[in-house]
Structure 1
Amino acid sequence: MSRDGFTTCLWFDGQAEEAAEFYVSVFKNSSVERVAHYPEGAPGPAGGVMTVEFTANGHRFVALNGGPQFTFNEAISFQVFCDDQEEVDHYWSRLTEGGGEPGPCGWLKDRFGVSWQIIPERLPALVGDPDPQKAARATQAMLSMGKLDIAALEKAHAGE
């Protein structure tokens, strides 16, 4: 794994390998690069998975089995920009499967508690329109949704 740029470390309580394999299955341009195990005398169980280095959608991650001390919350989330409704539906469905939780305004938590924002590429232009009435209608529509519906956002923006 290249050390250029940034690598995001995700702290898990025994689920690092399962999570890495899940994320690699959800996103294109993804792979598991390396699995490291706890040696004798380390704080984790000897031979158990300590870290998993992986790439998901071209972004580098390390999944660490660090224990129960820390958990995920919405203060950090990953934004996935989508070209069309099919992509929005795909990521929403995959990331909520197996115990994930849908949230408001395109947000969700996956089964590991990691927060994601599934965003149509068109959304920033709709809610940031220079016409304040169009922007307000699109924003109100977005605020009423869980998974974002591009056609409904476009209609609201147009005043339909």
Structure 2
Amino acid sequence: MAGLEKKVRTCLWFQKEGLKAAEFYVSLLPDSRIDAVFEHGNAEDPMVVEFTLAGAPMMILTGGNMYKLTPAASISVLTKDQVETDALWEALLEGGGQESMCGWLEDRFGVAWQITPEILPQLICDEDREAGRRAQAAMMQMRKIDIEAIRAAFAGKAVQ
């Protein structure tokens, strides 16, 4: 089966709706697909869904109420620009997601995500440590990352 040749994959424990979540996630990012579904007697809410998310192997185990998802484990996505950042942010909030701080959110299924424009870590970790600190301070005030505001802070301009 495609995607199952990878030795390591991330497994997320869901209480319910694992297949529904996996189908939603693979609709968001290129190079994503459902690789395998193992029903174990419940076709409406299969126990295991193996999928590829932007080339990374993932798995959802729908195992009931024994464990809960927490932000201690999150899916981090590097976005190319503000358009991609905004589109992914809005899609993940749709249907009951919750914004958090610094590019973090929780989707309607309870999975934590970090939506990070690829320029952000570059600016924060720049050789110019003072400029990097300004960019980081600006990020700390944001929910969804605003690339232009981060660039302005990095350059020493006022953040709107």
Which TM-score applies when normalising by structure 2? 0.90
Matched, 1:22 2:24: yes
Unaligned runs of 5+ in 1: 40-44
Q: Distance in 2 between matches of 1:25 and 1:32?
A: 10
Are residues 48 and 2 of structure 1, via their aligned partners in 2, closer, same or farther at CA, if it must alter by over 3 Å? Answer: closer
Letter in 2 for 1:93: E
Q: Indicate conservation of the 8 Å contact 1:141/1:153, yes or no.
A: yes
What's the C-alpha RMSD, in Å, of the aligned pairs?
Answer: 1.6
Deviation at 1:121, TM superposition (A): 0.8
Distance (whole Å) between structure 2 residues aligned to residue 5 and residue 123 of structure 1: 30
Gaps of 5+ in 2: none
Shift of 1:143: 0.4
Q: Map Cα deviations across residues 24-46 of structure 1 (whole Å, 9 max, x no partner).
A: 1111111112221124xxxxx68
How many residues of Structure 1 are paired with residues of Structure 2 in the alignment? Answer: 155
In 2, distance between residues paired with 1:73 and 1:84? 28
Query: What is the 5 A alignment of 1:1-160?
Result: 1-39=3-41, 49-160=46-157
Structure 1 residues 68-92: Cα deviation after superposition (integer angstroms, max 9, x where no partner): 1111111111110011111111111
* CA deviation string 1:77-129 (max 9, x = no partner): 11100111111111111111111111100011111111111111111121122
TM-score for the superposition, normalised by structure 1: 0.90
Q: Is the Cα–Cα contact under 8 Å of residues 51 and 63 in structure 1 kept in the other structure?
A: yes
Counterpart CA distance in 2 for 1:25 and 1:48 is 19
Rate the CA distance shift 1:83–1:47 in 2: closer, same or farther, 3 A.
closer
In structure 2, what residue type is equivalent to 1:14? K
Question: CA contact under 8 A between 2:4 and 2:35: conserved in structure 1?
Answer: no
User: 4+ runs of 1 displaced by more than 2 Å?
Assistant: 1-5, 45-48, 129-133
Counting aligned pairs with the same residue, the percent is: 44
